[in-house]
Amino acid sequence: MEPSFAYSERDFVTDVWRTKEGDAPAPSSRFDSALTGGWTDRLHRGLLRYHLGDLRTRVLPGPPRYVAQLNTQRGLERRKPQAIVSVNQPFSARQFNFNKINPEEVLFEMTSWGASEPPDPRGEKEKMVVVVNVSPLEFGHCLLVPDPSRCLPQVLTRFAVQAGIESVLLSSDPAFRVGFNSLGGFASVNHLHLHGYYLNHELAIESMAAKPLAPERGFYRLSGFPTGFLFYTEAGCLAKVAGAVFQVTDFLVNGNYAHNLFLTRGCPPCEVLGKEEDTLRRGVRIAVWPRISCFGAKEESAFNVALCELAGHLPFKRKEDFDHMTDKEIEDTIQRYLLPEEEFLRLETQLTAKLMEL
């Protein structure tokens, strides 16, 4: 029987700030203690394919402040990605899925007892199973898997979106991030899951300026590179914004657009930030990048363009790329996977109109 982690809105941590280097860290939340404690235990028991150690990390000097990390072992040891042919590809029990993992890789089951949780059409309380990622990117790297027994394909549900946002709010550490790769967006397993991990470096996306599109639904456009959409929510409007995020991802799936999401503590979006807003991390920023699909495409030699890379966290597989790649080369690589400007603007118009219908 897996350990259970039951929570409610009272467990959300709202007083979070981006501290300066050398400041004392905030006390760990109950969620952080359960996750990091379970993850470290599995590491010491040898369930991970390799020890991360202290990953070599450098912050590139340019304005994007890319956080580059050298992780050669993940490039060598991770499971071979599945063959993907469609954003809507059905689940296949014959391929690897999370019902086939070692049961000891399960850290705990998350269940919300909040009044705002989305209804389950089966009339049951939905659960999120938290599993250690045996080929980790960073400390605490886990997979958030909505009830694996349902055998859902890698297509976001409203529950998965809301539970992902809630997990960020449950953490008192602004280093905790959550992300999602769709099929065609470098998802490697066609079984619904999100990634969660700790990256103890500030990312530009936490405070990047944003242009309002449908602000009453929490919907904005990122003003910096790479071009994408942004949602923002605090605990009080979580369910409403989660519903809007799901409307967007559902629209993208129906249009066969691959996409990546990145959820992180961040400041409220505006076009010009003041000093206080630049450090405030009370809420959650949800970046959504529609992108060019990669079906059966060869992986990039330096890095794949997925949720981490679009957010400015670059796990490199080769030392020469880690040592020498420039901001310009990084942006040229990422740009190849972004939608052409005309197509993005057309999609922006469609999504804005859809969200303003309600």
| Residue 123, Cβ density class (10 Å: 0-12 exposed, 13-18 middle, ≥19 buried) | exposed
Among candidate residues 191, 193, 195, 259, the one labeled active-site is 193
Q: Which of 129, 174, 143 is nearest to 285 (CA)?
A: 174
**Catalytic annotation present for 191:** no
Answer yes or no: are the C-beta atoms of 63 and 149 closer than 8 Å.
no
Torsions phi, psi of 251, nearest 5?
Answer: -60, -40
Q: Exposed/middle/buried for 135, CB within 10 Å: 0-12, 13-18, 19+?
A: middle
Output phi, psi for 283, to 5 deg.
-115, -170
Catalytic residues: 193
